[in-house]
Homo-oligomer: A and B are copies of this chain.
Amino acid sequence: MKYTLILLLAGFTSGAQIQKEQLNLMPWPQNIVLNDGNFTLNKNFKVNITGNPNHRIFGGVTRFLRRLDGRTGLFFTQDFVTKLNEVPTAQLQINCSKSGKIGLYEDASYHLDIKENKITIEATSDLGALHGLETLLQLLRNTNKSFYFPNSQISDFPRFTWRGLMIDASRHFQPVDVIKRNLDGMAAMKMNVFHWHLVDDQGWRIEMKKHPKLIELASDGMYYTQEEIKNIVKYADERGILIVPEIDVPGHGTAILTAYPEIGSKVITLTGGTSEKNIQETAIETYGLERNAGIFTPTLDPSNPKTYQILSEIFDEICPLFPGAYFHIGGDENEGKDWDANPKIQEFKKKNKLSTNHELQTYFTMQLVPMLKKYGKELMGWEEILTQNLSKEAIIHSWKGSNEGILPGQSLAEAVKKGYKTVLSNGYYIDLMYPIESHYLNDPIPKGIDLTTEEKARVLGGEAPMWSELTTPETIDSRIWPRTAAIAERLWSAESITDVADMRRRLETVSFRLEELGLTHIRNKEVILRNIANNQNVKSLEEFSNVCEPLKGYTRNKNGTEYQMYSPFTLFADACTPDAKDALDFDAAVTEYLKKQTPENKAKVAAFFSKWITVNKELNDLSANAPLVQPILPLAKKLSDASQELLLVLDNKSVIKPADLKNLIEQCNTKDHADVELAVYASLKKLI
């Protein structure tokens, strides 16, 4: 039945005119016109490039050919594209008037025109042309025997100039191949800013030649060499992506202070001497890399000239590695506890007429501005850097919202009203396991706050931060993808593109296609499940994972100490993702049934219950030889118990009291097992 449905939806005969609603484009283009007819692919398909593009177009086109050939198995004869106008008669003609510069405000538009025998991509620069190639790949369709592109005309350009993804490589180090495959994913989703969070309390991740202690003492041996960084910068450039590095100061400073405790803010009092003569001295605190998650006090000393000397030398070494015009200095979550307790720092505040810690931090931040200016870089920081003395050239990274006790969009609006450029991350925290819908409908331009056109123009765009407290190289892709594709659409497409159901439909294909870039968000799930199942059949685990979601927000890692940075992330919660696959289908079945209680609709709901009863039995069998299955058994039992009774309810055969039935369902509303929750609880409740 499901089969037939897919076939009907897919419109698999090329004779039928395709409707826009059948396309799997993401981000959705600004303008699209579908015409009759198709361009059918064969092995002689070739590409030709004209104009004055940057050299990156050649690699881009070669990769395009390999991906298209991998999907179609046509054995294209064109191999590596390395020159302009190599094949003037090629079916795909790409023309770019100029070489694209990596950075903001660059024209990234393109026009794609597909006709029966000819495809053209016209773009201002290679950057737009690369976007056009991604759109073309997404337009690929097929009959039962051949592949084709539907005749169409697409004019496209981004709504925002900052379409970012941040990866935290400090809390869990993310090796080069993780970064590269995610850059490929970004490029496929027309994202253009990779924010690389390189330093935090849990580790310093850049090789430093003048300050090797940072690596020797504060990286556990896990860091990027400078050559690897250059290599990644080049890789990103080839995909049209700007890299913005982040060195988080003055808070989140444990790693730096592990190497250089002398620039820390904490003083400790030593008491010694004899009973006659009591000696009290202060000494500097020593630090060790943080292994837990949370907000910690280690903070750089803003009153110490050596702090600026070391930072200046660090920037001297790091800035040249990154050709981009922006440098992120963090600046978040400095609670100032060690500042308050340090008499020297209090003295310094008085002397410099800095009445609050916030003003002291601004003083600190302003010292960094010239260090970065020296390399032509503008300073960017999390919203805490914003105070009245801050240079208007700084970019404010807005991240706070309801969780931090302020209205979503509030800090962003304040910043643009004060004249700052801003990037929104509040609402895009993909590490927190919230449903895709919440990110997708979170517009960078805040609703309900009046902003002038000028103020709106200062909203550069948005960025999805992937913090890595609870993710490893094996699981990070499934935390980033496919949800980040929806954020990419929010940042590229028109404001009016907000149909969640349609986005979900398109996402299914988009997510599948991201696999060809090496992303592991789909394939690694079974790896985790096989480990849990002790190499037995994973079917029941797989099915149970389709109704379970990892605990959301900051609830999974209680007090930040349940998981250390070296804890196992090979558990059931690590195999689960937000937007649990079966939960939506179940909710749809329940809704249909409640609307119209036909035998068919009842059967659909009942099928879920029967499945979950079976899953519970099978998980119990599995657990006999798989200790890692044990923690999920109580949850599987709860769902099975509720399912058994609800099957009776459907047949009007339930004899238990309403309160007992309610209780059975309430049992499913728990966060006590295996760090996951049942995503079907809300739908179960609808049935009583």
Contact = CB atoms under 8 A, between A and B. Distances in A.
Interface of A: 3, 6-7, 10, 12, 59, 66, 69-75, 79-80, 142-147, 175-177, 220-221, 225, 227-228, 231, 291, 474, 508-509, 512, 515-516, 518, 520, 522-524, 526-527, 530-531, 534-537, 564, 566-571, 621, 623-628, 630
B220 A231 contact: no
B12 A568 contact: no
Contacts of A142: 534, 625-627
Given A66-B568, A79-B291, A523-B526, 20 more contacts: A3-B621, A6-B625, A12-B624, A69-B568, A70-B568, A72-B568, A73-B627, A75-B564, A79-B566, A142-B625, A142-B626, A143-B627, A144-B624, A144-B625, A227-B227, A227-B228, A509-B535, A515-B531, A520-B523, A523-B524
**Pairs of residues from A and B, 3 with the lowest C-beta to C-beta distance, nearest first:** A177-B177, A70-B570, A512-B535
Given A59-B221, A526-B523, A630 B145 contact: yes
A36 to B, nearest CB: 22
B527 A508 contact: no
B144 A630 contact: yes
Contacts of A534: 142
A176 B72 CA distance: 28
11 contacts: A66-B566, A70-B569, A73-B628, A74-B568, A80-B220, A144-B624, A177-B177, A227-B228, A512-B530, A515-B530, A526-B526
Contacts of A175: 177
A357 B227 CA distance: 44
A591 to B, nearest CB: 25
Contacts of A526: 523, 526
A39 to B, nearest CB: 16
A624 B570 CA distance: 38
A292 B522 CA distance: 33
Nearest to A629: B144
Contacts of A523: 520, 523-524, 526-527
Nearest to A623: B144
Given A144-B627, A176-B177, A623-B144, A79 B564 contact: yes
Contact of A527 (B59, B515, B531): B515
A526 B10 CA distance: 22
A588 B291 CA distance: 53
Contacts of A530: 512, 515, 522
- The residue among A568, A621, A626 with the most chain B CB atoms within 10 A of its own CB is A568
Q: How many copies does the complex hold?
A: 2
Given A144-B625, A524-B523, A627-B145, A231 B225 contact: yes
A46 to B, nearest CB: 13
Contacts of A626: 142, 144
Contact of A75 (B80, B508, B522, B568): B568
A192 to B, nearest CB: 23
Contacts of A145: 627, 630
A508 B530 CA distance: 13
Contact of A71 (B71, B566, B570): B570
Contact of A625 (B10, B74, B531, B564): B10
A535 B515 CA distance: 11
- The residue among A143, A512, A623 with the most chain B CB atoms within 10 A of its own CB is A512
A624 B7 contact: yes
A413 B212 CA distance: 53
Contacts of A221: 59
A531 B67 CA distance: 11
Contacts of A176: 176-177
Contacts of A520: 523
A629 to B, nearest CB: 9
A531 B530 CA distance: 22
Contact of A627 (B147, B512, B522): B147
A567 B80 contact: no
Nearest to A535: B512
A530 to B, nearest CB: 6
A400 to B, nearest CB: 32
B80 A566 contact: yes
Contacts of A146: 627
A340 B624 CA distance: 71
B627 A70 contact: no
A570 to B, nearest CB: 4
A225 B624 CA distance: 50
Contacts of A518: 474
A465 B75 CA distance: 27
Contacts of A10: 625
A571 B571 CA distance: 33
A266 to B, nearest CB: 23
Contacts of A73: 568, 570-571, 627-628
Contacts of A628: 72-73
Contacts of A3: 536-537, 621
Contacts of A564: 75, 79
Nearest to A69: B568
Contact of A535 (B72, B508, B569, B570): B508
A291 B77 CA distance: 11
Given A220-B80, A221-B59, A291-B79, A625 B7 contact: yes
Nearest to A531: B71
Contacts of A509: 535
A12 B625 contact: yes
A69 B564 CA distance: 12
A661 B463 CA distance: 65
Contacts of A227: 225, 227-228
- The residue among A80, A143, A144, A530 with the most chain B CB atoms within 10 A of its own CB is A144
A231 B222 CA distance: 12
A621 B4 CA distance: 9
Contacts of A7: 624-625
A516 B537 CA distance: 17
Nearest to A3: B621
A15 to B, nearest CB: 14
B625 A70 contact: no
A26 B628 CA distance: 24
A364 B567 CA distance: 56
